[in-house]
Structure 1
Amino acid sequence: MHKHRYVGLDSDAVLKSRKEFGNNILTIKKRDSIWLKLFAKFADPLIIVLLIAALLSALISCYEYWHLHSSVSIFIEPLGILFAVLLATGLSFLFELKAEKEFDILNQVNDDEAYEVIREGSVQQVPKKDIVVGDIVIIEAGCEIPADGVLLESVHLIVDESSLTGESSCRKTVDHAQFDKNATYASNMVFRGTKVLVGHAIYTVQTVGDATENGKVFESTQIDNSTKTPLNEQLFKLSAFITKMSYIIALIIIASRCIRFFTDAGDNWTLIEFVTYFLRSLMLSVTVVVVAVPEGLPMAVTLCLAYSMRRMIKSNNLVRKLHACETMGATNVICTDKTGTLTKNQMEVSSVVFYGLPHEQDLNDSEFSFYVKEGVSVNCTAQLDFSGDTPRPLGNPTESALLLWLFKHGVYYIDYRNDAKVINEIPFSTEYKFMAVEVLSGCGKRILYVKGAPEIIYGMCSHYPNGLDWSSFDAKIKSFQEDSMRTLAFAYKVLDPHEMAIDQTTIVAKDIHFMGFVAIEDAVREDVKDAVRSCRDAGIDIKIVTGDNPITTRRVAQEIGLWTDEDNDLSMMTGPEFEALSDDELIHRSDSLKVVARAKPQDKKRLVECLMKRGHVVAVTGDGTNDAPALKAAHVGLSMGSGTGVAKEAGDITILDDSFASIRKAVMWGRSLYLNIQRFLLFQLTVNLAACLVVLISSFMGSGTLLNVTQMLWVNLIMDSFAAVAFASIPPQDNLMKQHPRDRKQFIITPKMGTLIGIMGAVFAVSLLSCYAFFLHTDIEPGAFSNIFNYTWRDFSRGEITPYEHSLFFNIFVLLQFWNMLNAKAFLSGGSAFRFKGCKGFLLIWALVLIGQIVIITFGGEVFHVCSLSIEDWVITLILTFPVVAIGELVRIVQKHSL
């Protein structure tokens, strides 16, 4: 394609251009200030409810201080509520700031995508963000254009400008005679964010970053991190249900306490006493609502997503669309490419057969050798980057292998490109499976070079080496293909002065000479076999859909353990056979298929749609522009990191290392994310149920407030903010990939979870009420709780418990939840609750809960209505509550051995 030798910018010119015009980065829209975000937290309905509770408490305290002459300590409770509000709000604010930083990765990651740029006379790979005004950029089919500029050269260039103008197919050219006068933009202009559909070109950059046309509309295209996923919507419905139930419980508490007030007071009550009692009841019911409503759910989801996204990036999975995180956990079919995903995509020429060479590796100075070297060099879109110690391939791996083969034999491909003038060409297409270029050769002749699938190239030739016939040639090609090698054949024709070679996308030249072929090997990745086995053990079907030939594809399927001796012809299909099936026939056969070879782009999309109609949750991999329809159609599109911009735009997750092993990790993280949210719900709803039952039942019993406002707010902080962080940080466990995929429509609260929540909540409530009754009917002196089994039960109740006993009761309540965190952590883990490998985050939060409880009991005083406990008291309460996790461990051991 190169008609000129371009030098490009040197390092000094790059720095000068960047200083004058800026980086090629789109500025993220200005966000609200930190203070505005903090103040916005107080607009939350639940925070408003808490503030109302603090106001009610303050009013009661004022009345008791000025009218009943209580001490100034009466104001400790409203101050304690206010402190708890500030603490909960502050933690939530900090967690959301952290999550926001994680989401920023999604808006910035594309800036690191590499592009081929000519600088200092050499082709180099440069990140998009480092491209500057004046750079000369090489673009080809499937490439997303990195900056606005003017074409220097173009060949059959068609660009999708729908993101700017709505026009999905714009022909671009440097020939002014072919300019479209009605086009929105000049026909020799290309723009950032648009995509090359066909052809290739070289252009010089005119504007970068915010100055580009794409930059002017960037605000509307930024990723919205507030997007609701199906999981979010399910959790919000759960929250709404629990909220309604909590309001009902709150009303019952108010009504029962009012009835109790009138029953106990008889005719001896005053309006002031009733108002005070009613306000306290209202405050208590408000606190119950705060505790019962799982306001930590949205934060738990956000933290799980943020944590999973960050860890998935480390395992080479860049999540571009939020729903993909959770959906990967439900995936039960993966339609994968072969090249680059199952194989290394590091092509190397293994065997060379050019029939005009004395030896297959001998690139001598003969005329035929010149045709080989020039033909390979000019009929090729790949490049080599010589800026390092060794040449680095850029572009198509198969074509790069040919250039590396030339370099290995002392041939510098760029010399042949610079000496030859391209007259016309046909870019490679999966439709016709060849590419061709007509050049004014460096030897002064006009020559046509053709390269492509062996059967296609052989068929268009009329001159063959002596003794070469189709049967012997086909047998040799198949022998290479059976060893999983890709074969490419070559042909040429020295054209007569007025002979026409190419007409649009058709070769019209006659008497073409067959030159020979090469076999190129792309070995299977070392980790793919284990990854495929792991996915199949996890109940996930793997299907290879590729444009490669059936023999090579089946050999790869055998190597990775997908194709077994039990498979037959029904397990594999070619593109023409696939196309001949009706939709009903294909739906019927889709489950049994393992390999679809010689597939066209629409074949992959059709297979995905049929599998989805069968009720499967489908993930599909793709790296080319032609994969975009299938990537969009699937539940999860997995684009390859080395793929085209179009494929990445259509995908939901980008596999940065192109490896199938990374896809397995994406499945594992998706399952882990969902399970961690279930664990959080199991823990939180158990606490909710226990707290509500204790307060509700005690209101009917006429007992005093078993848990006061500040104590309940501390409990709320534990189960919301702390628990959300703790459970979000639990890493995936191996047993996740031994389970079958979940039903995506399944309600997140499974029957097993519902049973556990009901049983544990009821057990906690009964245990706590029994504990309270024990304190009412015994006299426990401070520091003497260790003699718990020596106390005498009295037939009468003292009516209320002492501050010391209340501290014991509160401590027991919190420690029950403390130990139950381990039970929730071990839910569906298949292991012990005390296995903390990889759970440093959880262990830290778990320890902080205990430390926080010690601080509150020791120094909380009148704020939390507690008094300090002795070391013996702590040991006894820890021992009394430990059976919560001990019994859980016993149940898990029994269940494990019964399987």
Structure 2
Amino acid sequence: MDSREKGPWTPGDHHLKMYEPTDVNFKRLQTCAVLNTDASFITFENDVLARQARGDASETALIKFFESVDPIEKMRKECPRVAIVPFNSANKYMVSVNRTKESKGATHRIFMKGAAERVLPRCAFYNGPRGEVPLDDAARAEIEEMILTLAAKGERVLIFASMPYTSIIETTGDLINDAGEPTFPLEGLTFAGLISLVDPPRPTVQHALNECKSAGIQVYMVTGDHPATAVAICQSLGYRLTPCEVLKRAPGQDINTTFCIVHGINDIPQFTEADWDFVFECKQAVFARTMPEQKQAIVHHLNKRGAVVAMTGDGVNDASALKVAHVGIAMGSGSAVARDAAQVVLLNDDFVAIVDGIREGRLIFENLKKCVAYILCHFIPEFGPFLISVVAGLPLALQTLVLLFIDCGTELFPAVMLAYEEPEDSIMKIRHELQISTL
């Protein structure tokens, strides 16, 4: 945003301008965003940002922003929803049909929001200074350039569009067929605008990732976001490697310094075993725009190569991958489906908690080894005289009751103390070779 300029941005401008809340095009974007969201407030403090909301995190950010302009519930009551196509990871868009007071005889309006590559191709117009204007190639290219610019900053970009729809049907069953597909058109939309959301990693994540690296744990980013957004987030976490296309490996390329980007929708369906080998041997790999079946495929191919896989996720689209991983880790604020599919639920939704759990597990493992070593060490001087006495036919040097008193009186407490040893500084620098076996 450029605070020096005010007014609506349209293709042809050289930079973004800050919207005036009273601008007609801003109002159209506001209407698209408010009516095509399911999030709602459950507390009503005067400070909008302090309010708690029920719903998706992205939608919560939208309603908090627009509530500061106009009450969202008032807009929703004036334009009630009559049909909805929920967001899913396959379509990557959400559609809402609402009754509105349209001009030119239209009784309803179709609102769509979602990923740029799914919504923008359906747009045929945009709102210019003098009304709707055909969305030509030049305007479309400028919008796409703006999307890439925002995504390259690590921001998640949502596209909003709408169109009038004349219908006398008032029941959801007539607008959505039995397969859950809309019976109304989704082409020829009017581009209303785009909104970018900032969801930066927590400050503690970079240190946690460094600990994983030193401990021999390979971390892969698997996201549904745009590849440019994924790369920007990686760079914010300290990965300064030059990205390359995974299927265009250069001759003589050093695989140990390669940072490869995998486009889930475009690349993974074409992958061969050699491609999977290349990706997993890279120093760092990012999987962007992934579908649920592709997340499951990533976990499957890691399992196939003998890796012990922990998968994190919070949505319905993560459930299948959480199920096939050795350890499925769901976020406490995530969907019930994800929590049911996982073996571990993080109540604080913090990646650092996973690293803390690994450290605690390694501490238990190391202390257990110390206890076993200690018990074996004191067992030898006790068992030695007993064995010599039996072999030589001599009277027992140590009677059974004496051995019991020695063990309980002198060995028990030191062994227990070893179990409570504090972790050593190098505990997260030891590379453990884990083996999965059936007991």
Relative to the length of structure 2, the TM-score reads 0.80
Indicate which of 104, 112, 122 corresponds to 1:460.
122
Q: Are the aligned partners of 1:533 and 1:561 in contact in 2 as well (CA < 8 Å)? A: no
Q: Greater helix percent: which structure?
A: 1
**Structure 2 residue runs without a partner (length 5+):** 1-5, 247-259
Quote the Cα distance in structure 2 between the aligned partners of 1:640 and 1:365: 40
Query: Structure 2 matches for 1:202-221, cutoff 5 A?
Result: none
Quote the Cα distance in structure 1 between the aligned partners of 2:369 and 2:410: 14
Q: Deviations over 1:160-187 (max 9, x none)?
A: xxxxxxxxxxxxxxxxxxxxxxxxxxxx
Which residue does 2:21 correspond to in 1?
363
Q: Which has the higher contact order (CA 8 A, sep 6+)?
A: 1
Q: Deviations over 1:635-671 (max 9, x none)?
A: 2112112211221222222222222222221221221
Q: Are the aligned partners of 1:438 and 1:447 in contact in 2 as well (CA < 8 Å)? A: yes
Q: Are the aligned partners of 2:292 and 2:318 in contact in 1 as well (CA < 8 Å)? A: yes
1:526 is the counterpart of 2:184: no
What SS class does the counterpart of residue 161 from structure 2 fall into?
A: strand
**Structure 1 residue runs without a partner (length 5+):** 1-350, 747-899
Which residue does 1:406 correspond to in 2?
66
Which residue does 1:752 correspond to in 2?
none
Which residue does 1:471 correspond to in 2?
141
Letter in 2 for 1:525: R
Which residue does 1:45 correspond to in 2?
none
Letter in 2 for 1:744: Q
Q: Are the aligned partners of 1:398 and 1:520 in contact in 2 as well (CA < 8 Å)? A: yes
Which residue does 2:41 correspond to in 1?
384
Which residue does 1:590 correspond to in 2?
280
Indicate which of 485, 491, 494 corresponds to 2:155.
485
Indicate which of 530, 542, 548 corresponds to 2:225.
548
Tell me the CA shift for residue 515 of structure 1: 0.7
Tell me the CA shift for residue 510 of structure 1: 4.9
Q: Are the aligned partners of 2:8 and 2:20 in contact in 1 as well (CA < 8 Å)? A: no
CA 1:656–1:732 in structure 2 vs 1: closer, same or farther (change >3 Å)? farther
Q: Deviations over 1:584-629 (max 9, x none)?
A: 5424533325111111111121111111222221211111111112
1:393 is the counterpart of 2:70: no
Letter in 1 for 2:244: N
CA 1:657–1:612 in structure 2 vs 1: closer, same or farther (change >3 Å)? same
Which residue does 1:505 correspond to in 2?
181
Which residue does 1:281 correspond to in 2?
none
What SS class does the counterpart of residue 472 from structure 1 fall into?
A: helix
Q: Deviations over 1:825-870 (max 9, x none)?
A: xxxxxxxxxxxxxxxxxxxxxxxxxxxxxxxxxxxxxxxxxxxxxx
What SS class does the counterpart of residue 438 from structure 1 fall into?
A: strand
Letter in 2 for 1:582: T
Q: Are the aligned partners of 2:279 and 2:285 in contact in 1 as well (CA < 8 Å)? A: no
Q: Are the aligned partners of 1:502 and 1:509 in contact in 2 as well (CA < 8 Å)? A: no
Relative to the length of structure 1, the TM-score reads 0.41
Letter in 2 for 1:458: L
Quote the Cα distance in structure 2 between the aligned partners of 1:452 and 1:489: 6
Which residue does 1:568 correspond to in 2?
244
Q: Are the aligned partners of 2:329 and 2:343 in contact in 1 as well (CA < 8 Å)? A: yes
1:446 is the counterpart of 2:108: yes
Which residue does 2:268 correspond to in 1?
578
Query: Structure 2 matches for 1:181-192, cutoff 5 A?
Result: none
CA 1:734–1:602 in structure 2 vs 1: closer, same or farther (change >3 Å)? farther
Which residue does 1:740 correspond to in 2?
431
CA 1:730–1:354 in structure 2 vs 1: closer, same or farther (change >3 Å)? farther
Which residue does 2:256 correspond to in 1?
none
Q: Are the aligned partners of 2:330 and 2:344 in contact in 1 as well (CA < 8 Å)? A: yes
Q: Are the aligned partners of 2:28 and 2:192 in contact in 1 as well (CA < 8 Å)? A: no
1:695 is the counterpart of 2:371: no
Quote the Cα distance in structure 1 between the aligned partners of 2:82 and 2:349: 36
Query: Structure 2 matches for 1:17-166, cutoff 5 A?
Result: none
Quote the Cα distance in structure 1 between the aligned partners of 2:126 and 2:394: 103
What SS class does the counterpart of residue 463 from structure 1 fall into?
A: strand
Count of aligned positions = 392
CA 1:369–1:724 in structure 2 vs 1: closer, same or farther (change >3 Å)? same
Which residue does 2:251 correspond to in 1?
none
Q: Deviations over 1:383-414 (max 9, x none)?
A: 223255631233211111100101222x2222
Q: Which moved more, 1:418-427 or 1:537-546?
A: 418-427
Indicate which of 415, 418, 421 corresponds to 2:80.
421
Q: Are the aligned partners of 1:655 and 1:662 in contact in 2 as well (CA < 8 Å)? A: yes
Tell me the CA shift for residue 729 of structure 1: 2.5
What SS class does the counterpart of residue 220 from structure 2 fall into?
A: strand
Q: Are the aligned partners of 2:122 and 2:186 in contact in 1 as well (CA < 8 Å)? A: no
Q: Are the aligned partners of 2:32 and 2:192 in contact in 1 as well (CA < 8 Å)? A: no
Root-mean-square deviation over aligned CA pairs: 3.0
Q: Are the aligned partners of 1:639 and 1:647 in contact in 2 as well (CA < 8 Å)? A: yes
Tell me the CA shift for residue 633 of structure 1: 1.3
